[in-house]
Amino acid sequence: MENDIAISVKNLHKSFKLPTERAWGLKQAIFNRLKGVKGYKEQKVLNGISFDIHRNEFVGIIGRNGSGKSTLLKTLAKIYFPEKGSIDVNGNLIPFIELGVGFNYELSGRENIYLNGALLGFSNKEMDTMYDEIVDFAELRDFMDQKLKNYSSGMQVRLAFSIAIRAKGDILLLDEVLAVGDAAFQQKCNNYFAEIKGKQTVILVTHSMENVRKYCTRAILIENGKIALDDSPEKVAKAYENLWK
Amino acid sequence: MAIPNFTYKGNRVLLKELTKTDFKLRYQGSVLGYLWALLRPLMMFAILYVVFGKLLRFGGDIPHYSVYLLAGTTFWSFFTECTNQGIQAIVQRGELIRKICFPKYIVVVSATLTAVINLLINLVVVVIFALLDGITPSWTWLLMPLILLEFYCLALGISFLLGAINVKYRDITSIWDVLTQALFYAVPIIYPISMIATTSDIAAKIILLNPIAQIIQDIRYCLITPETVTTWNYVGTSNFAIKLIPILITVIILIWGSWYFRKKSKKFAEEI
């Protein structure tokens, strides 16, 4: 793989087996087997997707609900295994499919940072070096020894978000998480993304064309599990808005 | 996911963090806290001792019957706790598995390790009881870690195998519940194996081919008295190979369980 390429995806296929109406239960299973009926329907979600993402590109992935964006992201994050095709990742990939995954409400903020770090593959020593930055960005230093359940929901997402962006990864995967918290914190998030634009590899799944235009250096429109358009943010955002006009 | 790689630092850190969290949160919000790890098996022992030892007089002429029973119930509690936690581990961490990629076996190992920690705490109580009951320490005590390892391998193998099936068919939890109840009576925990041997020699031998029975009897042999009937001194006196059946079952379950778990773990995120 060329050194300049962060992620190389080739001919990705993924489908899910969705159980049909009454496929559950032993009786129905035997019945289906006898009649030769498959108890499930095959749903093709990704249908031959290929692209290369270069280092320091900020790529927006857009598409309507059910077009396969999130599945693509989860496949990139190695949560799902593709049936066909390959994904080559060059560097350390930090997935944030949802904020606050793995948070434990009975643990303190500090403990949660280390637990979350371990889930992302960072050792405690590595987390030590990131700890201060995370706490400072979240502006939660006074609350670090409090249990997470005593945080307000805004404080919880601030902590999760800070871990996401301060974890030292090469590639950041984000699903619809950009600006969280109150207005002041949202502003801080926006500034942060404007700042890293073109300096870090980010893949963002979003529905907001405003964000695509503002932060992305490239956008990919996905329709029915295929790439419909892979171009500049402006062109792709227009194409997306024209989908239902 | 390749072969479980404990040398990779990230996996070790995650295992440590998850086990620590599990253990820390287990007794959260209870007044007696960690004490429950000791009290629960002790109370179970007390009930069984009163019913079977005092009322039904199962102990008979067994020396140190109370320690004999306590060792049995302690290790049995470990087995049920370990397998129950292990089997449910993947489903309980479903949210995590659907959102983050990490080696899935770590979740099962961390859940079962919590049970191991509990067992080690309880073992201290068993040893204290043994000393109070006039048992003198012997070199056979040093064999305990080996037997413990075998027991853990068996429980881990079962957790991997049934835990993987449990992702798709949650019936496993209920089936295992009933099965452990049956197993409790199928191994000599409350009754001495000599009681069975007097009615049917063959039945006693078959019981001793169960790895759980073999393990529990071995523990009693090492800890309490070499007079204990074990698989080694009772079964297959003419054919040594038969004695190895319990070990073989354990090894097969561990290998089969790990293999099956590894094969299925790719789809956990979709099926949970």
pLDDT beyond 70 at A201: yes
Tokens of B146: 């080996």
Q: Which residue has the tokens 């419909």?
A: A228
Instruction: Please report the pLDDT score of residue B268 as a whole number.
Output: 92
Instruction: Please report the pLDDT score of residue B2 as a whole number.
Output: 39
CA distance B140 to chain A (A): 40
The 8-class DSSP code of residue A245 comes to: -
Whether residue B271 lies within 8 A of chain A, CB to CB, comes out as no
Distance, in Å, from the CA atom of B26 to the CA atom of B15, rounded to the nearest integer, reads 16
The 8-class DSSP code of residue A108 comes to: B
Instruction: Please report the pLDDT score of residue A22 as a whole number.
Output: 56
Distance, in Å, from the CA atom of A67 to the CA atom of A48, rounded to the nearest integer, reads 13
The answer to whether the Cβ–Cβ distance between B269 and A106 falls below 8 Å is no
Instruction: Please report the pLDDT score of residue A21 as a whole number.
Output: 60
Substitution target from A105, A119, A128 for chain B, most B beta carbons within 10 A: A119
Judge whether B74 and B49 are in contact, CB under 8 Å.
no
The answer to whether the Cβ–Cβ distance between B25 and A118 falls below 8 Å is no
Distance, in Å, from the CA atom of A219 to the CA atom of A222, rounded to the nearest integer, reads 10
What pLDDT band is residue A1 in, cutting at 50, 70 and 90? low
Mean pLDDT score, A131-153? 93
Sign of CA dihedral A96, A99, A101, A103: positive
Q: What is the 3-state secondary structure (H, E, C) of chain B?
A: CCCCCCCCHHHHHHHHHHHHHHHHHHCCCCCCCCHHHHHHHHHHHHHHHHHHHHHCCCCCCCCCHHHHHHHHHHHHHHHHHHHHHHHHHHHHCHHHHHHCCCCCHHHHHHHHHHHHHHHHHHHHHHHHHHHHCCCCCCHHHHHHHHHHHHHHHHHHHHHHHHHHHHHHCCHHHHHHHHHHHHHHHHCCCCCCHHHHHHHCHHHHHHHHCCHHHHHHHHHHHHHCCCCCCCHHHHCCCCCHHHHCHHHHHHHHHHHHHHHHHHHHHCCHHHHC
The answer to whether the Cβ–Cβ distance between A124 and B13 falls below 8 Å is yes
**A94, closest residue in chain B (CA to CA):** B100
Instruction: Please report the pLDDT score of residue B3 as a whole number.
Output: 43
Convert B44-59 to b/e letters by CB count within 10 Å (16 or more is b): ebeebbeebbeeeebb
Residue ranges for chain B with pLDDT beneath 70: 1-8
Across A1-15, A33-47, A97-111, B248-262, least confident range: A33-47
Across A131-135, A187-191, B23-27, B265-269, least confident range: B23-27
Instruction: Please report the pLDDT score of residue B4 as a whole number.
Output: 46
The answer to whether the Cβ–Cβ distance between A79 and B16 falls below 8 Å is no
**B1, closest residue in chain A (CA to CA):** A78
User: Chain B, 71-110: which have a CB under 8 Å from a chain A CB?
Assistant: 95-102
Distance, in Å, from the CA atom of A59 to the CA atom of B260, rounded to the nearest integer, reads 38
SS3 A4: coil
Instruction: Please report the pLDDT score of residue B158 as a whole number.
Output: 98
List, in sequence order, every residue forming a beta bridge with A12; answer none if it has no partner. A49
Please write the tens of the pLDDT for every residue from A81-108: 999 999 999 888 888 888 888 899 889 9
Instruction: Please report the pLDDT score of residue A176 as a whole number.
Output: 79
What pLDDT band is residue A243 in, cutting at 50, 70 and 90? confident
Q: Which of A72, A30, A15 is nearest to A221 (CA)?
A: A72
Across A31-40, A210-219, B96-105, B195-204, least confident range: A31-40
**B17, closest residue in chain A (CA to CA):** A115
SS3 A210: helix
Mean pLDDT score, A166-193? 84
Mean pLDDT score, A187-208? 88
| Strand extents, DSSP E, chain A | 5-19, 40-54, 58-62, 84-89, 93-96, 171-175, 201-205, 218-223, 226-231
**Burial of A132 from C-beta contacts in 10 A (0-12 / 13-18 / 19+):** exposed
The answer to whether the Cβ–Cβ distance between A79 and B101 falls below 8 Å is yes
pLDDT beyond 90 at A26: no
The answer to whether the Cβ–Cβ distance between B100 and A80 falls below 8 Å is no
The answer to whether the Cβ–Cβ distance between B95 and A101 falls below 8 Å is yes
- Give the count of Cβ contacts less than 8 A between chain A and B: 61
The answer to whether the Cβ–Cβ distance between A106 and B28 falls below 8 Å is yes
**B15, closest residue in chain A (CA to CA):** A118
Mean pLDDT score, A177-199? 84
Convert B120-133 to b/e letters by CB count within 10 Å (16 or more is b): eebbeebbebbeee
Judge whether A148 and A112 are in contact, CB under 8 Å.
yes
List, in sequence order, every residue forming a beta bridge with B111; answer none if it has no partner. none
Distance, in Å, from the CA atom of B262 to the CA atom of B272, rounded to the nearest integer, reads 16
CA distance A116 to chain B (A): 9
pTM of the model: 0.89
Whether residue B21 lies within 8 A of chain A, CB to CB, comes out as yes
Instruction: Please report the pLDDT score of residue A233 as a whole number.
Output: 93
Q: Which residue has the tokens 């032993």?
A: A26
Contacts of A81 in chain B (CB under 8 A): 266-267
Q: Which of A233, A227, A240 is nearest to A69 (CA)?
A: A227
Distance, in Å, from the CA atom of A245 to the CA atom of A108, rounded to the nearest integer, reads 49
The 8-class DSSP code of residue A82 comes to: P
pLDDT beyond 80 at A240: yes
